[in-house]
Chain A
């Protein structure tokens, strides 16, 4: 009897371990701006959906001689994410977790458990060949990738250097106003550039030479957007500072609407 109990416990444990191994649990990392951000009480709730944040492993020096030395993938994290999750909860019927999920292109299967992924400051990222290959695989299997908060020509070129590794032959195109991605919930024909928090101090909408917002994307073979590129804007900051009365409501509002449209578009296409 004791042997049987041990066997059953072992089997159950093995099964549980298998699940855990294939799908990583939630973990909060220290960010460049927030080290010990409080966790919401329901952060462990099992839900249908959360938005993943890509923890890319390396980045380039794109504005020499500035050498930040910090983890750019954590910019705005996790305050931006938590606000966004609340927004998605309130504005849609998506069964949303209150916290994000950090994923890596580390060769494990974990990233495939989170079919919608967001990356910030991709003007600095540097994907290795393996990371690019896994991101390609992720997208072709049905994953959706949204990137944001990179500005000007230099950062664009650096972004594309890695993106070309992901899809050497696919074109990056401007998303047409008629694309369903701008109409799935909100009709977003009239979009404008969304500045980062620097706007509160500089009053400047753009950064570097990123004078106008670029709503771009990469389509799959069936005509679905699988990579949504938000260039020359900082939606992450807009979510992050949406609770600050100094940050203009119209920017925050558009940032939420864009996110909601993109996420629902992903879940319907």
Chain B
């Protein structure tokens, strides 16, 4: 319809520039329109004087219509036209890029045809031939890379991945030496590399190559559940309780029940029954599981297939968890023998993943050390040397007044959290927090609360405890798997013997538990915060021991709480070398990116280290890769390595300064082939449309693809010529003139002044 009225496709108007071909000056046109307006005004006014029915606004409308008519006619005398760049026939290349990935084999096109068949149908039904009449045509197949093909029957739809951005970059590389005037991309848009980055789009725009896209495949599945992502910590301590955040969506099963299962090498780690939300709604469910013993956990998260599900291969996602064999040491400084000390020690005594070392002021002049590695350790009490304190990963300060620690020790504690990345827990007590003078100490910054400006904040009054909203989601406070049961269990805990007003939580701090004193009111009891590279918490009571003494021997609430709190305290404490990779599971990708953060013995960034990654892979693969310093981040080293085959890989990174070893770290990752194309299989129309619109091309449905042969000529890439297209003879112009004239006539008839 548009082309019928305006003679040319819309793309001509969007790409062309409006010009007037007649060389007469524009001011004459303006003057002519003005003169016509005055002349017609005088005539209309004279006519109106004789007819009362033409008075007022009616004469104005008639004058306007007549003036517009004359203005349009005068404009036509100036010969309006569009100047548009078009590809020179036979001198340009049109690149046809056909998606050859596995998802194109899905049979969700009309009549049960595959996407590949639909694409071939469109291309072979005259499109390629009509293009060949005017251009040279190059065929490419797209997968995780771009490859030129001679014939369409070379397409197999068996490629393991779709990397549209990378493939288009290769087209651009060809365009540097070839007159590529336009690109036609026939794809379902199901990209596995995270989409097309801005850099690629900017490069395409710079070369002015329009990318026309033809989209294949259903835009929405009919019956399918897809696990889109699973978030699990990459590292954990042995026997830690971990939460897997499972993200998924579904179509066709709204309200249905499903089973979410976590497995490690076939062994079920956890299951949970879930109710599916509405179609297309991104749903997130949390499943708790035990990290188990030290080693690598290959956690497969799956939703059991539902009846008549179209694609069952997108129901499961694999992630790796490195369960460290390390045993973090936590130093607990206590200022007085008290019950909380005893029962905290007992709570974690059987926890073989945590090493609790304690210094207790038993008398005015004596300390009692427990858990020390040798008789000399901590002989002089709390560490004064950086190496001694930084050997611990967590620190607990009990009822010990701040002035007991020298200013140097206080500053050391600050650095312990901020620079070392250690965890610091403040316990309530008569010499703790505000009552212990912490507001005036170097540790005040570290507190997740702003301490009250008064003493007497520690009171021996019983208080019940209650989880806050954040506490319901926290792993620290999870005593029961089921969130509702967990809330109820916390409410049933025996009251704590005492509590301390910790003051107001600082911005960014999270309150997990409130105390509800028997005298009334509500006080934050457990508050956590991240600080620098570490984390801090306040547990503002010395009376949680009643959870142990006032409950049956079999009840593990107290033990679980403290173990989880202390694991949180040290679970993420970094070592001197930390290795990471953005993707621990490479789905049909070969390139692994490694990053190592290296610190020296005092945990200052070591930018002068020699860092090397030793990689062991399947079938005896062994390779050493040097890591280069990242110029943007001190102490950070990066490397990229191409995995030769699918399987599990182990990387050990060592960092040395001269002959001194600064540290080492182990990381595992896994490459899986034939997986990526099972996911995101719906047509990503949004990506295809965006790609077209950003590059000056058009998105076409397969049914409309026939128009491409006409519209593809208008391009500024390749070898072009500027052409003008007359506009005066557009049917729309004649229609406008007719409407203006007939409009006036109809109005006159209505007013009875014909």
Residues of chain A at the chain B interface (Cβ within 8 Å): 8, 11-12, 15-16, 18-19, 22-23, 46-49, 91-95, 109, 112-113, 115, 137, 140-143, 184-185, 222, 263-264, 266-269
Contacts and interface: CB of A to CB of B under 8 A. Distances in A.
A191 to B, nearest CB: 20
A19 B462 contact: yes
A16 B545 CA distance: 20
Contacts of A48: 336, 338-339, 430, 542
A11 B366 CA distance: 46
Contacts of A15: 462, 518-520
Nearest to B347: A142
B550 A113 contact: yes
Interface stretch (B160-168, B357-365, B678-686): B357-365
A93 B345 contact: no
Contacts of B350: 222
A16 B518 contact: yes
Interface in B323-354: 335-339, 341-343, 345-346, 349-350
Given A95-B430, A267-B337, A268-B368, A112 B342 contact: no
Contacts of B545: 115, 142
A113 B337 CA distance: 17
Given A19-B462, A264-B362, A268-B370, A93 B342 contact: no
A113 B546 contact: yes
B338 A267 contact: yes
A71 to B, nearest CB: 26
A19 B518 contact: yes
A191 B312 CA distance: 76
A142 B342 contact: yes
Contact of A95 (B338, B360, B518): B338
Interface string B369-391: 01000000000000000000000
A112 B462 contact: no
Contacts of A22: 494-495, 550
B205 interface: no
Contact of A49 (B338, B343, B363, B364): B338
Given A141-B553, A142-B548, A184-B362, A268 B342 contact: yes
Contacts of A93: 335-337, 361-364
A141 B336 contact: no
Count class of interface residues, chain B: 35 or more
A103 B488 CA distance: 31
Contacts of A184: 362, 368
A269 B550 contact: no
B281 interface: no
Which residue, of B338, B339, B346, B549, has the highest number of chain A Cβ atoms within 10 A?
B549
B contacts with A: majority SS: loop
B132 interface: no
A93 B367 CA distance: 11
23 contacts: A8-B520, A12-B518, A15-B462, A19-B518, A22-B550, A23-B462, A48-B336, A92-B362, A92-B363, A93-B336, A94-B338, A113-B549, A113-B550, A141-B548, A142-B548, A185-B363, A185-B368, A222-B350, A264-B368, A267-B339, A268-B341, A268-B342, A269-B346
Contacts of B241: none
Contact of B337 (A23, A137, A142, A268): A268
A106 to B, nearest CB: 15
B550 A109 contact: yes
Nearest to B370: A268
Contacts of A266: 342
Contacts of A222: 346, 349-350
Contact of B339 (A8, A91, A115, A185): A115
Given A112-B549, A222-B346, A267-B342, 20 more contacts: A11-B520, A12-B519, A46-B460, A48-B542, A49-B337, A93-B335, A93-B336, A93-B362, A93-B363, A95-B336, A95-B338, A109-B550, A112-B546, A113-B550, A142-B548, A142-B549, A264-B337, A267-B337, A268-B362, A269-B346
Contacts of B497: 113
Nearest to B337: A267
Contact of A268 (B360, B364, B550, B553): B360
Contacts of B462: 15, 18-19, 23
Nearest 9 interchain pairs by C-beta? A15-B518, A267-B337, A46-B460, A19-B462, A112-B549, A93-B336, A140-B553, A267-B342, A94-B337
Which residue, of B335, B342, B361, B366, has the highest number of chain A Cβ atoms within 10 A?
B342
B460 A269 contact: no
Nearest to A92: B363
A19 B495 contact: yes
Contacts of A264: 337, 362, 368
Contacts of A49: 337-339
Contacts of A92: 337, 362-363
B367 to A, nearest CB: 10
A186 to B, nearest CB: 10
Contact of B520 (A12, A115, A140, A268): A12
A112 B368 contact: no
Contacts of B361: 93
Nearest to A144: B342
Contacts of B341: 267-268
A92 B367 CA distance: 11
Interface in B686-736: none
Interface in B288-315: none
Contacts of A95: 336, 338, 430
Interface in B515-531: 518-520
A22 B460 CA distance: 15
